[in-house]
A and B are shown apart, each in its own frame.
Chain A
Amino acid sequence: LGDNARGSAGKATSSPAENYLLARRRTLQVVVSALLTESGFESAEKAAVETLTEMLQSYITEIGRCAKAYCEHTARSVPTLSDTVVTLIEMGFNVDTLPIYAKRSQRMVITAPPVTNAPVTPKALSAGQKRTHPAHIPSHFPEFPDPHTYIKTPTFREPVSDYQVVREKAATQRRDVERALTRFIAKTGETQSLFKDDITTFPLIAARPSTIPYLSALLPSELELQALEETDSSEQDDQTDGENTAGNAITDDPGADKENSMLPPSGVVPSTKASEDNVIDNPYLRPVKKPKVRRKK
């Protein structure tokens, strides 16, 4: 284990920030190793140690994040002990056991991590000259932010107006969309293949018989319909409102009430329109007559 730690320590790192983080990490690893030894392990797989380190790190990070949140909640900027305690309690840790645990006899002492410089946050890229305060603003006020945060910098490219390119693009785009879509459908459903050995190169969506095949074959798709509507949206007759009339006509018959609800409306029944429009006298639009009450059933 020690070898391992040393090995990684020996690795040269490039930036101070990374160096700093690595050092912390290393300490954590040592802590984990120590705890493992304490618990009686003689050796551990590297991956297991890594995982435990990871867990420990995230546990500590969570304590920190949470404590910070508590402190900020009470309008402070630096967490106090009580923040940490509350956090620990919140995370389900029994705080009372902590002092005893800290003073346990078999604990191992770990050397403090080497002091490394905390990484300096790199300066934000500054663009342009920062504006100085105008005269009416006192100088102790914060400085203006970088100009790029509030100044509009217009950038635009010449739009593609070349006909050929536009067509090319539209065609490619459509083809890509179509291919992606069909492949998706093919992947998620049943397929057929032209090659027995390879079912993925040219997947065909399986043919599925439908109950009423002529509907999809004859009716224009919605896409096409939209286009059509633009051209002639004039005549849309409504032959559908006839049902009610038919229903009303029958409701007079007390015996028929029940069946009435079952009568499916259809174009057969005369539409109100037809009865209003006296010009059209078509036998198929005339109301259905009630049976004559000639004799009892």
Chain B
Amino acid sequence: MSNEDLYHKVVGYVELTIFPTVVNLNRIKLNSKQCRIYRVRVNDLEAPFLYNDPTLEVCHHESKQRNLNYFSSAYTAAVSAVDPDAGHGELVIKVPSELWKQGDDLKVLKVYIEFSLDQPKGGLHFVVPDVEGSMAERGAHVFGSCDEKMKIFSCHRFWFPCVDSYSELCTWKLEFTVDASMVAVSCGDLVETIYTHDMRKKTFHYILPIPTAAPNISLAVGPFEILVDPYMHEVTHFCLPQLLPLLKHSMSFLHEIFEFYEEILTCRYPYSCFKTVFVDEAYVQVSSYASMSIFSTNLLHSAMIIDQTPQTRRCLAQALAQQFFGCFISRMSWADEWVLKGISGYIYGLYLKKTFGVNEYRHWIKQELDKIVEYELKMGGVLLHPTFSGGKEKDNPTPHLHFSIKHPHTLSWEYYKMFQCKAHLVMRLIENRISMEFMLQVFNKLLSLASTASSQKYQSHMWSQMLLSTHAFLKSISNVSGKDIGPLIKQWVDQSGVVKFFGSFAFNRKRNVLELEIRQDYTSSGTQKYVGPIKVTVQELDGSFNHMLQIEENSLKHDIPCHSKSRRNKKKKIPLMNGEEVDMDLSAMDADSPLLWIRIDPDMSILRKVEFEQADFMWQYQLRYERDVVAQEEAISALEKFPTPASRLALTDILEQEQCFYKVRMQACFCLAKIANAMVSTWQGPPAMKSLFTRMFCCKSCPNIVKTNNFINFQSYFLQKTMPVAMALLRDVQNLCPKDVLNFILDLIKYNDNRKNKFSDNYYRADLIEALTNSLTPAISINNEVRTVDNLNADVRLILEEITRFLNMEKLLPSFRNTITVSCLRAIRQLQKNGHIPSDPSLFKSYAQYGHFVDVRIAALEALVDYTRVERSSGELQWLLSMVQNDPVHYVRHKILGLLCKNPPFTKTTDSALCNEALVDQLWKFMNSGASHDWRLRCDAVNLYYMLFGLTRPSCLPLPELGLVLNLKEKKAVLNPTIKPELGVGAVMDTPASIGIHGFNTMEDEDIDMETVHDSQAFIHHHLNLLERPSTPGKHTHTHTHTHTHTHYIHVLKTLLIQFSAILFIWHQITTTVISMYGPYEQALGNSGKEKLPFNRKKPAKPASGRGTHLPQLVGGEGD
């Protein structure tokens, strides 16, 4: 057992070389969390240091405060207090007085920090499968099975002291000593690998000559299998043991992505090598770091799997796009994040367009647009480029949110995802405005500036070209294109919200004019007013015509002259937008009007939601004849409201049309099912889609038997998968699934035969189970009888029989990603919910345990969350919450909270026995201190708290004595002003201007800082007070001008970080690590190579492993 402790330990050593830019540098602040710092030296002198992490416990002392407003502001203050962009940090090092004021010559300072990391909860993630055996046995075991693997996710201050900011660049030298059976993969070039003297360990030496920020540094250690990319030998792939065949297949097209990006950006991949590492229990599916990306191992697949292939390719493309924008070029400040996310998302979109086709691309854009519109309308606006003029709470640009968007660490995860989504959509809007050619020119310019800068020796401003700010980006756009995109930026970037249009029209026959009315809703939450051009496309008998209308303040109506007289020439073909000419059956249309259909903003060049009214036949024409997939999808969703035989026919035709985009056809299936249900009393013929499916997929000779599977045609494969799922949604007059349909699905399962198929049918079978699930309807229950086997409905018995068999077979022959188990668990929950079988959580609990495949666990947890809500079970809620606190997999913990938010056991508006003081306390405690090691988890907990109790004090709590004042006007509770004074600490209050915000350039606040820093409570309250005070002039106004901000940083932070080196000793099989950052400017400063050797032999405890002594040569060695 004692070994177990060793497994999770890292011992490290960091060296930073700092070039002060101010004279009075006497304090150095770094970011560091959960590290135990043993010793700090500055230029060989022992330096006193203070370690204080205010985010460990957000709200101290107080015990009564339970409202989220208070928490959010306290949390924001705590994060601000250690914000590296503002020059703060958890670790404050006092520069020994001997090194002060050495005249005007600013000498290089070297900071050495020894630290260890014991059982880290965040940052570093150890995955150690529970394999029995002594050390030797384990050692012998490493070869075959995977004993240990380890990887890391972004928050860097969690695993080594650094300046955890994207804007602090420096070069790196990293050394990792690990067990000989392991491989340590990290950023930069692997220079050499050397055994330690006892030959039990190896040291990996990495050098990253390109200036890189600490958050872009990562490490993965494990018994990886290695695959050198057969097309590009500088690219290396790593996977866990036994997965090599999958890795080979999954990576076989990576070179195409490389080629694509390099071609469109006309720029070589900036790093000299690239590494992909596939790890288990990944924090996120894809994360990119300088010259390496870490993926979830679950993205690997074999050649037999269809559905996973495009997803994996997308993930790779995303990761690679972020290599250019995000890793190589990183953000200047948090407010500029949208530019990088936007650009990487945009070029990723271009890749999608090229690889998966224009249809897929437009479908994706529509999907993303729908997603962001839905989110913003529900949750309030997403602001891409927030500006914080003062530090004041009143200036909060997003008062509708229950969290602050001032720091990435306080953001809700969902919000961040939507933020990324909006960013790339806005980037696409910019492209619409300035053309793709210019857009790519801008990117190329940014990249070439950055790569010139990266090869420079350190000079104070040179490297800043590698940081991208909103301002620089916009300037570059205006330089390249000469166009002013100011209004566009103002509308979508500086402002939050989307546009909501309502459109309707009338045709004026006398004037032959189309009278179009477009109204807007800009008062409800998440909306904004749009003024500007809008494109309207009108398909008439004589062709398709685009009209640019101007949306203005007060004009709602627009007259559009029509080109065609109502049908004079009957037999003529009708020209479409794409030049195609088609025959149409015009009998359905209004004889007086030449209009076939009308589309508002067809190119999605506004972030909007359009609700447009036109007659059902127009939607049907649009579905049949408009060639744009977006238009077809819009028509399908509109047709749901028109359950007529004509709609049915249009949908059926689309379903049968093989040229039609398969996702449109899939959507048509579900729409057809809805229409069929709406017209159940008048429906003629067999159940919807049945004859169609029979014709497409069943044997000619015996129509009740499906053909043996052959998925070589992917379009029909997807259709074959979808149709049964949609058909199962059909209901007869009694609101039951028709017997025909159920038997049909059961037959599909029975006759399913995959023996001759090149592809796996696991997704297909999973969908058939989903179809069975969809066919379920609530059981008729008499007197609430207990559900037993005997009173099972006959149909349900058949369904249950299939599910049991599938679930059991899965144990013997597991399917890819256990898709079938996942579907079965969902089906069982549905059976329980509909009262066919007794509601019981124990099955799901066993599948939710650690040790099952993650998809299975999530499915089981989803069922449990649902159970908790339906049965109002506090036992299960407790079980889930304890899993949130204790589960080894971060993703699962995050996911449980996400699921609870999506399907909350109760909400702030409903009463529930579950809502009690104990739960409030528990969640509060978790938010406050329990989740301090994981930003994402803490924000998830905040979300859940908001969902359950709202912003104000939970209603189930007794009112504290005057603790809160309810502001009815703003509908929120605020701190009682009378209790504020006691929160602040006098000394701090008295010198507000001098407190930490400006960092090191204020000497006089030294005493206060040092003393109060012990008491993080005072620290936070102090910041709380700062937030409420009117802004001091000149304080912290970095959003106005970025050049200014930058100099500010240089002033405050560049002082800090110029060279950085570190050693990490990760105990036992995963062993020692050495990280070192160095700067090529070093020589410019005239230091000899020897002097700057980061590791002097005086270092006690750790054996000096062979470390590179010839750094200067290596600096230039990145050319190839």
What residues of chain A have their CB less than 8 Å away from a CB belonging to chain B? 163-164, 167-168, 170-171, 175, 178-179, 181-182, 185-186, 192, 194-198, 201-221, 223-224, 227-228, 231-232, 235, 237, 239, 250, 253, 255-256, 259-260, 262-268, 274, 279-286, 288-292, 294, 297
Contact = CB atoms under 8 A, between A and B. Distances in A.
Contacts of B189: 283
Contacts of B840: 194, 196
A291 to B, nearest CB: 5
17 contacts: A163-B702, A164-B702, A168-B705, A171-B750, A195-B789, A204-B843, A205-B807, A212-B280, A217-B855, A220-B302, A224-B302, A227-B304, A264-B142, A283-B191, A283-B193, A288-B193, A288-B194
A185 B753 contact: no
Given A209-B851, A209-B852, A289 B814 contact: no
A141 B277 CA distance: 88
Nearest to B850: A209
B199 A250 contact: yes
A222 B1071 CA distance: 36
B846 A289 contact: no
Contacts of A205: 807-808, 811
B962 interface: no
Nearest to B1105: A291
Contacts of B788: 195, 197-198
A6 to B, nearest CB: 53
Contacts of A163: 699, 701-702
B300 interface: yes
Contacts of A208: 851
Contacts of B787: 195
A280 B224 CA distance: 19
B256 interface: no
Interface stretch (B717-725, B798-806, B879-887, B935-943): B798-806
Given A194-B837, A202-B800, A267-B224, A212 B146 contact: yes
B816 A207 contact: no
B139 A264 contact: yes
A264 B1112 CA distance: 35
A280 B233 contact: yes
Interface stretch (B25-33, B241-249, B548-556, B1051-1059): B241-249
Contacts of A202: 789, 800-801, 804
Contact of A182 (B302, B812, B816, B818): B812
Nearest to A167: B705
A255 B302 CA distance: 44
Given A214-B298, A227-B757, A292-B194, 9 more contacts: A163-B702, A167-B699, A194-B838, A214-B854, A215-B242, A215-B243, A221-B814, A264-B223, A290-B194
B202 interface: yes
Contacts of B228: 274, 280, 282, 284-285
A213 B191 contact: no
A282 B837 CA distance: 59
A252 to B, nearest CB: 12
B672 to A, nearest CB: 28
A276 to B, nearest CB: 14
Contacts of A207: 843, 846-847, 849, 852
A259 B180 CA distance: 10
Interface in B817-868: 817-818, 828, 831, 837-838, 840, 842-843, 846-847, 849-855
A250 B240 CA distance: 25
A217 B853 contact: yes
B290 to A, nearest CB: 16
B183 A268 contact: yes
Nearest to B844: A207
B180 to A, nearest CB: 5
A109 to B, nearest CB: 67
For the complex, would chain A's binding face be called helix, strand, loop or mixed by DSSP majority? loop
A216 B183 contact: no
B105 to A, nearest CB: 35
B225 interface: yes
Contacts, number: 241
Interface in B950-1004: none
B407 interface: no
Given A167-B702, A221-B813, A260-B199, A231 B758 contact: yes
Interface stretch (B129-137, B629-637, B926-934): B129-137
A243 B448 CA distance: 43
Contacts of B850: 209
A80 B680 CA distance: 94
B837 A214 contact: no
B838 A196 contact: yes
Given A192-B843, A215-B242, A259 B198 contact: yes
Interface in B290-311: 297-298, 300-304
Interface in B691-728: 699, 701-702, 705
Nearest to B296: A214
A221 B750 CA distance: 21
Contacts of A210: 851-852
A214 B812 contact: no
B481 interface: no
A264 B143 contact: yes
Contact of B760 (A170, A178, A206, A220): A220
B246 A235 contact: no
B190 interface: yes
Contact of A288 (B202, B701, B807, B818): B202
B789 A218 contact: no
Nearest to B762: A224
Q: Among A214, A227, A235, A237, find the residue whose CB has the most chain B CB atoms closer than 10 A.
A: A214
Contacts of B130: 211
A231 B750 CA distance: 27
Contacts of B226: 239, 267-268, 284-285
A204 B804 contact: yes
Contact of A164 (B248, B301, B705, B1105): B705
Contacts of A171: 750-751, 753
B743 to A, nearest CB: 14
Nearest to A232: B303
A170 B1105 CA distance: 66
